[in-house]
Amino acid sequence: MMMGSELPHLIDALRPPIQRFVRESRARIALLVSSAGQVLAQHGFTRSYQVRNVASLAAATHASSHALAQLAGAERWEHLYHGGRERQLFLAPLRTPIEDLILVVIFDADSSLGIVRLFYENLEKEVAALPEFQQKRERRDQESFEHDLEAGLEYTSPDAASED
């Protein structure tokens, strides 16, 4: 998980790739989180509490999918896809040299699973090559865990940081 002090820098670096991804894939919503659910980039949300809820649920889904994969004898899944009538969900790991992130995409008939998958592959390569993701950092103590979670929201939120 990213420490609060580095976040603004990292979030700035992630903004162009995510915007490009959304533009090319025509997705409605995109969210990039750490494996702990810390928000690193977002597009398309209107309220910050929505971002936080989707972020923590996505991290939880990813964690349980991973546990299922191990029980199923698969090393890991490539992606999770939910097909709804109007909207669809795509959830996949974004692997970087120092840690795995999670990408959540919500799209409708303007896009397709194939398109999202295609541009997700590009996005993964782009993010993995960012200088910010090359160097493993010292983990700070666990005191600031919750603070760091909230900090992600603060820097990426469409409106004021934490409100319910």
Partner 1 sequence: MSLVNYSTREITCKIVYYGPGRSGKTSNLQYIHAFVPEERKGPMVSLATETDRTLFFDFLPLDLGTISGFRTRMQLYTVPGQVYYNATRKLVLRGADGVVFVADSQPEQWEENIESLRNLHENLLEEDIDVKTFPMVIQYNKRDLPGVIPVAELDDTLNFRGVPAFPAAAVAGEGVFDTLKAASKLVLQSLSRRFGQEIQQP
Partner 2 sequence: MNALFNAAVERLSRVAGVRGALLVESEAGVPVVSELREGVNETAVAALVASLFRRTGAASETADFGRLNTLQLEADEGHVVAVDAGELILVVVADHDAQLGLVRFEAHRAAESIA
Residues 114-143 vs partner 2: string with x where CB under 8 A? xx-xx--x----------------------
Q: Can residue 134 be called a binding residue for partner 1 (CB under 8 A)? A: no
Answer with the entry of partner 1, partner 2, none that 150 interacts with (C-beta below 5 to 8 A by kind).
partner 1
Cα separation, 37 vs 57, in Å, equals 8
Tell me the two tokens of residue 19: 């915007």
Contacts of 112 (CB under 8 A, 6+ apart): none
116 DSSP 8-state letter: H
Which positions ≥6 away from 154 have C-beta within 8 Å? 161, 162
Q: Which is nearer to partner 2, 115 or 130 (CB)?
A: 115
CB atoms within 10 A of CB 153: 19
| Tokens standing for residue 10 | 């990292």
| Residue 114 touches which member of partner 1, partner 2, none, C-beta under 5-8 Å by kind | partner 2
- Is residue 21 within 8 Å of 123, Cβ to Cβ? yes
Asked whether position 129 contacts partner 1 by CB under 8 A, the answer is no
Single-letter amino acid, residue 164: D
- 103 and 35 in contact (C-beta within 8 Å)? no
Contact letters for partner 2, residues 72-111 (x by CB under 8 A): ---------------------------------------x
Among 75, 86, 138, 146, binds partner 1 (CB under 8 A): 146
Name which of residues 21 to 80 contact partner 1 (CB under 8 A).
35-37, 52-54, 56-57, 59-60, 63-64, 67
Q: Which stretches of the chain bind partner 1, using CB under 8 A?
A: 1, 35-37, 52-54, 56-57, 59-60, 63-64, 67, 139, 142, 145-146, 149-150
